[in-house]
Amino acid sequence: MIPILKRRLSKYYFFFVASLLVPLVGFFIYASQYETKFFLFLALAFAVNIVILLGLYRRLKRKRSEVDLQKEEFFEKANLMKADLEKEWQAIGAFRQKIIAYSQLKGLVERLSACLSVEDTAHTLCQEAAGLFSHGDSTIILYLFDQQTGELSIAAAERNQRAVNIKSKHGDMFDRWVMKTLQPLHLDDARHDFRFDADKVEGEDARQIRSLLSVPLLVHNKPVGILRMDSPVPGRFAKEDLRFLKAIGDVAAVTIENAQLYDKVEDLAIRDSLTGLYLRRYMLDRLAEELNRHLRRDQEMSFIMFDLDYFKRYNDRFGHTAGDIVLKYVSGLLQTHFGDPGGIICRYGGEEFCVVLPECSRKDAVARAQEFVQLVDKEDIMLRRERTHITVSIGVASFPRDAKLKEELIQKADEALYEAKKAGRNRVCSA
C-alpha cells in the first residue's frame, strides 16, 4: 500500500515539474536566438518557478512525513497482529495440552474404577498420577483420613514409579494446614513462606522439601484424605499443575470412598459382628491357602484352638449380654497377643476361637499359647458389678508334623483341646 502511494506521488510531481520547466527551456532557447529582452521575463518566470518548487518541496516533505507515519502505524498493527497470533498459538498449544491431560485423566478414571480395595486404589492412584506429571524428582503421597481418630495415615508413596518410605506417617505441618483449612496448597519454596517455620520443615521429615502441591480429597465437604506432591527443587510446580492435581483429587476422593465402602461390606461378609474376628468360612479358605504355601516352601505352621471354660455358667448366672461382654473381652486379648502380621484370628463358633500362625513351629505355638493362658488367668472381668474370673483351654497342632490336610489339622487341634479340658482345663495340650 505505502510503496504504491509513493510511486503515485513521484509520478505526479515529476509531471508537474516537467510542465513548468519545459516551457521555460523553450523560452530560453527563443530568447537566446531571437529576442534578448525576453531574458527579463525568463528571470521572473524562474523566480516564480522557484517559489512554486519550494512550495511543492514543502508539500512533498509533509506528504512523506504522513507516509512515514502511516508506515509506522502499519508496522505497529503488524506487530500487534503478530503478538495476537502468538497468543493464539500459545492458547491452542495450552488447549492441546489440556486435551492430552484430560484424556490421560480419563484413562486414570478407568484404571481406578477397576480397583476394589482401598489398598489397590491407593497404589494405583499414586502410580498413575505420578506418570501424568513430568517431574522425575517429585514424590507423590496419599494420606487417608480416619473419621474415628481424626488422624491422617499414609496409604501410598511413589517416586519414579517406585515405593518410597516416608518418615512422617501421619503427615507434617503442610498436611495439617491442608486438613485444617480444607484448601489446596501451592508452595514455590517452603523455606520462604511466611505460613511455615523453615526450621520445623527441616526437622519433621528427613527428605528435603522445597516446593509442594497438596489438595484435600473431599466428598460432600467431608475429608477423605490428602493427595500431595513435593520436590527438593524450588519452583518445580506451576499453577496449572495444581489445577490438574485438583482434578485428579476430585476423581480420587470418590474412588477412595467407594473402595472404603467396599472394604466395609467385605469385612461384614468375613468378620463376626460381635467380636470383629474373622468368620469360620473365611478362616477355612485362608487356612487352605496357607497350607499350600507352606507345602511349597517346606515350612512349618501351627493351628491353635481355644475354648472358654464353663462359659455356660456366665450366661446362666449373668445373662447373655454379659456373655457377649466376655466374648468381646477375650477376642480383644487374642488380637493383642496373636495379632502378628499374617496371622488369622477367627471365632470358630460359640465360645470357641482359633488362630492360624504362619511359619511357626509347634514348640513356639505351645509357648505362646501357654503365655495366653497365663494372661487370661490373671485378668478379672466386672459383670453386673461383680468381679469374676475366666480361664481358657487350648489345643495346638502343627503342619506337617501332626497333619498334612486342612481337615486333619483342625481335627488334631480339636482333639488336643479336648485333652486339655479332660486334664482339668486352664491349660495347653498339643497333638
Express each pLDDT in 162-202 by its tens digit. 888 888 888 888 999 999 999 999 998 888 888 887 666 66
280-430, CATH topology level: Alpha-Beta Plaits (3.30.70)
- Would you state the pLDDT for residue 30? 61
Binned at pLDDT 50, 70 and 90, residue 306 comes out as very high
Q: Where are the beta strands (DSSP E) in 309-385?
A: 344-349, 352-357, 380-383
All three cell numbers of 247, joined, read 482434578
Axis-axis angle for helices 38-113, 2-33 (nearest 10): 170
Q: What is the pTM of this model?
A: 0.57
Per-residue pLDDT reduced to its tens digit, 76-105? 888 888 888 888 887 777 667 666 666 667
pLDDT (0 to 100) of residue 411: 94
Average pLDDT over residues 246-259: 88
**pLDDT of 24 above 90:** no
Mean pLDDT of the chain: 83
- For residue 426, give the 3-state DSSP assignment: coil
| High-pLDDT (> 90) share of the chain, % | 32
Q: What is the pLDDT of residues 108-120, one digit of tens each?
A: 777 888 888 888 8
On the question of pLDDT at 13 being above 60, the answer is no
Whole-number Å distance between alpha carbons of 128 and 114:
13
When pLDDT is cut at 50, 70 and 90, the band that residue 54 belongs to is confident
Write down the pLDDT at residue 42: 63
Strand order in the sheet with 344-349: 344-349, 352-357, 301-308, 392-399, 428-430
pLDDT of residue 195: 83
Q: How far is CA 19 from CA 12, 55, 290, 299, in A?
A: 11, 16, 117, 121
**Cα-based angle 390, 396, 399 (whole degrees, multiple of 5):** 155
Residue 187: CA atoms inside 13 Å, Cβ hemisphere, count? 29
Look-up: residue for cell 524450588? 234
Given a cut of 90, is residue 410 above it in pLDDT?
A: yes
Domain ranges of the chain: 2-86, 119-270, 280-430
Paired residues of 130 in beta bridges: none
Banded pLDDT at 203 (limits 50, 70, 90): low
Q: What is the CA radius of gyration of the chain?
A: 45
Residue pair 142/212 in contact (Cβ under 8 Å)? The answer is no
Pick the closest to residue 254 from 106, 121, 104, 119 (CA basis): 121
Element of type H or E holding 393: strand 392-399
Q: Is the peptide bond before 216 cis (omega within 30 degrees of 0)?
A: no
Angle value at C-alpha 349, between 302 and 395, nearest 5 degrees: 35
Cell of 17: 515539474
pLDDT tens-digit map of 331-354: 999 999 998 888 899 999 889 999
Tell me which CATH code domain 119-270 carries: 3.30.450.40
